[in-house]
Amino acid sequence: MLPLFLLLLLLFQLTHLGHSLNQEGLFLHQLTLTFDDPDGVFSNWNQKDPTPCKWTGVNCDSSPTQSVNSLDLSSANIAGPFPLILCRLKFLTFLSLYNNSINSTLPENISDCQPLEHLNLAQNLLTGPPPDALSGLPNLKHLDLSGNNFSGDIPPSFASFRRLEAISLVANLLDGEIPAFLSNISTLKQLNLSYNPFKQGPVPPELGNLTNLEILWMSGCNLVGRIPDSLAQLKRLTDLDLALNSLDGPVPSSLTELSSVVQIELYNNSLTGELPVNGWSKMTSLRLIDVSMNYLSGSIPDELCSLPLESLNLYENQLEGDLPVSLAKSPNLYELRLFGNRLTGELPADLGKNSPLLWVDVSSNKFHGQIPSGLCDNGTLEELLMIYNSFSGEIPASLGECTSLTRVRFGYNNFSGQVPAGLWGLPHVYLLELIDNSFSGGIAKTIAGASNLSALVISNNQFSGQIPEEIGWLESLAEFTGSNNRFTGSLPASIVNLGQLWKLDLHENGFSGKIPNGIHSWKKLNELNLADNDLSGNIPEEIGTLSVLNYLDLSGNQFSGKIPLGLQNLRLNELNLSSNHLSGDIPPFYAKEIYKSSFSGNPGLCGDMAGLCDRKTGYKSMGYVWLLRSIFMLAGIVFIVGVIWFYLKYRNFKKAKRVIDKSKWTLMSFHKLGFSEFEILDCLDEDNVIGTGSSGKVYKAVLSSGEVVAVKKLWGGGAKMAVESGDIEKGGNIIQNDGFEAEVETLGKIRHKNIVKLWCCCTTKDCKLLVYEYMPNGSLGDLLHGNKSGMLSWPIRYKIAVDAAEGLSYLHHDCVPPIVHRDVKSNNILLDGDFGARVADFGVAKAVDAIGKGGKSMSVIAGSCGYIAPEYAYTLRVNEKSDIYSFGVVILELVTGRLPVDPEFGEKDLVKWVCTTLDQKGIDDVLDSKLDSCFKEEICKVLNIGLLCTSPLPINRPSMRRVVKLLQEIGAESQSKNGKDGKLTPYYYEDGSDQGSVA
């Protein structure tokens, strides 16, 4: 009895002990071994659990066996190849690894994952062609491979999917044809192929056979030819996007047969002909239509406008005729953009009465007549843009009550009469533009309420009276352009309170009195034009404190007294004080011939400038004595400098002779060369040194062909280093040798517009040369932090950011294997003659896969102070995310104009400084004061990207590809903002007083 009991007890114990992880759990647990998991998402995948059902991302079915049916590890920041072990889970129907770093190729035996219904691998780093075997998954309904590096063809086997309902291949590198066989997947409801570099070709007409299709996205797919009529068979289609291709021909009238279509996007093609006139009334579901930026002609069909449209974008075509009156009946219309056509007639009188209009842009057409009075009847109108038409009459009083308005542009029309008092003071308007009309009356005191007003542009009208004191209350006002009107009285004293002002242009009016006291608070003033008024008194000495003032015109007034000496502190591009009553001396800095016209017409004024005024000749001859003395002194200095220069040059010449022995060089070239290595050696003169980096000196070499190249000399032997380059730190030595191989291997292979070209390299036992294309504008770092930073206007800086981002994105996403730069910094971003930026110096770059598999860590610290991602300091692990961090620092440099590390920041680096300053003082203390504040909006958006890239957690940093996209979106936005108003200028409201022609 006892033995039996013991046996039972033993069995009982055994079963309890055996209560360890089940088989599926064991399979799953293997994932933790194959994936890199910096964020620890696997930390609760505990092997002591009986089942994996409670693990992060895991879901089990309710059967007694509790099989795993779903695994969702999206955005978990895990890295590694696709885990085939998952295919051993016999009930796994749902798998998402969306937004991780799944790399290498997808294995063919993915077909072992038989039960899969839903597979989402979007936003990863997968390469190679999409595997044939995917179609071997009999149950697959939903396949998302977008945002990877899949290349080559869509495999023919894809024709044999049996249950597939949705496939997305958006934003890959697929460069084959768009295959007609996709039309065999008859179950398909969504076909998303946008943004792939497919071979140029037509929309396959066979796609019309996909009769279940609801969504068809093929924007940016290199499509040419006509839109096939067969698409009319897609009776269930709701969303058709063929934008950004080169399609031509008319919009097929058969398209109007599609009764379910909600959205049509065909913008930015080369579509010609007229919009179909009939048939639109069948498209009872059509809400959103965008066929802008094509070559469509003819008129806007009445039938189209009778649909219950929400958004109608027809801008930048060649449409003519009237806007159909039926449009005014649309109960849901909120967006109407018709700018850049040849439309005529009046706007429908009832426009807006029935529609919740939000954005209306009819600029750059030939409309005439009055503004419909009901545009804001629904109280939603935000943007009303009507520039460059022939509208006339008064602004309806109803718009003065339209508090939702933010952007109002009535410029370049024939409007007249007084502006409704309410319009001056709308609380959300940031741009009020009335330029070039015949408005009269004054600026109403109600302007006090315009608390958001940033630009008030009212030049070239007949406004009169005094400018109300209330204008000084507008804290956001950055531009006030009111030139060429009939304003009188003195400038309001409060105007000096406008601390955001960057442009004040009131020339050609009848202002009198003095410039008010306290203008030193115009800290941001860039342009001050008060020419041709009746102003008098002194020019205030304070003017010398306006450190960013660039343009100063006070000509044609009654100013008297001395010219303030402080003007010498300013860096003026334009200075005009002519035709006043100024007297005394001209400040020495300006007493030069080139400034002569700046001071003419001031009879009491004198300087050392011949001809400006009639001083006694005695004074002049004194000047000559002084001049002669200076000449002698100068000649002496030149002589001494010359002797020193000659000595140094001779010494270097001897030194150069000593180290270069031509016979022992070997040449490795990557491009067709128009020069020989010997010619380059002759140019390696110390006089030609243009830079010294951590791994060597850089020379500029002008070759006999006239071609200019940059030569980087790296030293192998320690002995030679001591002789020739004492400025290279000893520690650099290790990197140099490895750096050389790495640099040559990676750079030689790469061809990209934003990556510096390596022409060739020459080697001997102890000296190595890399010959690059020469970049005349040097490095971004030197330019930005040197005294030439003024050359880098915001549009240039923005372009540099985009260029460099594209270069890095190429390294990360388009090179196989991907390349991590490891030393991204502003000194490694070089600028060509047009300030196009290229990424350079792979001194420490290595192909990611070349690094040892286990450690993945480097033996030497790579990267430069201030640019190193925080995680690197303790993990010594380098990946793309660390480059992205460094690139974020470069963005912050561009935006703030500050160095990545600066004693001024104390313990902090630039990243921390920006964050704390933003918190404590606000945005204005962060942005580079040299940047034109009219770009502030755009700059802030770029700053945000910089902050995103420098997130402390790598997972929060966007991929380089995403960074490029984010940056481009900012550009596109600001361009369309202006472009849609009819004028393509990078300024967001600057139209100036001169009427530009409109394309």
Ligand X SMILES: *[C@@H]1O[C@H](CO)[C@@H](O)[C@H](O)[C@H]1NC(C)=O
Q: How far is the CB of 877 from ligand X (least distance, A)?
A: 9
- 838-877 residues in contact with ligand X (CB under 6 A) are 848-849, 856
Is beta strand 190-192 parallel, antiparallel or unpaired with respect to 215-217? parallel
Q: What DSSP line would sit under 575-612, residue for residue?
A: EE--SSEEEEEPPGGG-SGGGHHHHTT-TEEE-S-TTT
Which residue number, 38 or 863, has a Cβ lying nearer to ligand X?
38
Name residue, tokens 């910089």. 946
Q: How far is the CB of 77 from ligand X (least distance, A)?
A: 11
- 573-612 residues in contact with ligand X (CB under 6 A) are none
Total residues contacting ligand X by CB under 6 A comes to 9
Contact with ligand X (CB under 6 A): which of 58, 60, 76, 79?
Answer: 79
- 89-128 residues in contact with ligand X (CB under 6 A) are 103-104
Long-range CB contacts for residues 98-103, cutoff 8 Å, separation at least 24 = 98/74, 98/122, 98/123, 98/124, 98/144, 99/74, 99/75, 99/123, 99/124, 100/73, 100/74, 100/75, 100/76, 100/124, 101/36, 101/77, 101/125, 101/879, 101/880, 102/78, 102/126, 103/79, 103/127, 103/818
Which residue number, 79 or 188, has a Cβ lying nearer to ligand X?
79
Task: Round to whole Å and give the CA distance between 803 and 832.
Answer: 11
Residue 571, Cα to own-chain centre: how many angstroms?
29
Contact with ligand X (CB under 6 A): which of 59, 80, 675, 738?
Answer: 80
Which residue number, 563 or 820, has a Cβ lying nearer to ligand X?
820
Is beta strand 666-669 parallel, antiparallel or unpaired with respect to 758-763? antiparallel
Q: How far is the CB of 945 from ligand X (least distance, A)?
A: 25
Element (H, E) at 888: helix 880-896
Q: How far is the CB of 45 from ligand X (least distance, A)?
A: 18
Which residue number, 103 or 550, has a Cβ lying nearer to ligand X?
103
Residue 913 has, within 13 A of its CA and on its CB side, a CA count of 23
Sign of CA dihedral 882, 886, 889, 894: negative
Q: At what angle do helices 910-920 and 880-896 cross, to 10 degrees?
A: 50
**Per-residue x/- marks for ligand X, 376-405, CB under 6 A?**
------------------------------
Task: Round to whole Å and give the CA distance between 506 and 706.
Answer: 51
Task: Show the 3-state SS of 538-559.
Answer: CCCHHHHHCCCCCEEECCCCEE
Q: Mapping DSSP to helix (H, G, I), strand (E, B) and coil, where does residue 246 land?
A: strand
- 432-461 residues in contact with ligand X (CB under 6 A) are none
CB 835, CB 816: distance < 8 Å: no
Name residue, tokens 């200028």. 985
Which residue number, 126 or 333, has a Cβ lying nearer to ligand X?
126
Could you tell me which residues are beta bridge partners of residue 465? 487
Residues whose CB is less than 8 angstroms from the CB of residue 741 and which lie 6 or more positions away in sequence, other chains included:
none
Q: How far is the CB of 126 from ligand X (least distance, A)?
A: 10
Which residue number, 848 or 966, has a Cβ lying nearer to ligand X?
848
Q: How far is the CB of 36 from ligand X (least distance, A)?
A: 4
Q: How far is the CB of 52 from ligand X (least distance, A)?
A: 23
814 binds ligand X (CB under 6 A): no
Name residue, tokens 């890959």. 172
CB 306, CB 284: distance < 8 Å: no
DSSP state letter for 179: -
Catalytic residue ranges:
823
Is beta strand 708-715 parallel, antiparallel or unpaired with respect to 767-773? antiparallel
**Amino acid letter, 289:** I
CB 449, CB 473: distance < 8 Å: no
Which residue number, 80 or 795, has a Cβ lying nearer to ligand X?
80
- 17-56 residues in contact with ligand X (CB under 6 A) are 36
Task: Round to whole Å and give the CA distance between 458 and 484.
Answer: 9
Q: How far is the CB of 82 from ligand X (least distance, A)?
A: 10
Which residue number, 159 or 851, has a Cβ lying nearer to ligand X?
851
Could you tell me which residues are beta bridge partners of residue 712? 698, 770
Which residue number, 150 or 217, has a Cβ lying nearer to ligand X?
150
Could you tell me which residues are beta bridge partners of residue 6? none
Which residue number, 38 or 400, has a Cβ lying nearer to ligand X?
38
Which residue number, 80 or 417, has a Cβ lying nearer to ligand X?
80
Helices (H), 300-432: 302-305, 421-424
Which residue number, 282 or 856, has a Cβ lying nearer to ligand X?
856
- 817-836 residues in contact with ligand X (CB under 6 A) are 817
**Amino acid letter, 994:** D
- 722-781 residues in contact with ligand X (CB under 6 A) are none
Which residue number, 106 or 771, has a Cβ lying nearer to ligand X?
106
Q: How far is the CB of 144 from ligand X (least distance, A)?
A: 20
Q: How far is the CB of 874 from ligand X (least distance, A)?
A: 17
Short-list 95, 100, 88, 86, CA closest to 119: 95
Q: How far is the CB of 168 from ligand X (least distance, A)?
A: 23
Q: How far is the CB of 43 from ligand X (least distance, A)?
A: 18
Two structure tokens written together for 469: 């004191």
Task: Round to whole Å and give the CA distance between 952 and 905.
Answer: 19
Task: Round to whole Å and give the CA distance between 400 and 426.
Answer: 7
Short-list 381, 341, 326, CA closest to 359: 381
Short-list 840, 773, 852, 851, CA closest to 818: 851
Short-list 538, 487, 488, CA closest to 517: 538
Q: How far is the CB of 86 from ligand X (least distance, A)?
A: 17
Q: Which residues bind ligand X (CB under 6 A)?
A: 36, 79-80, 103-104, 817, 848-849, 856
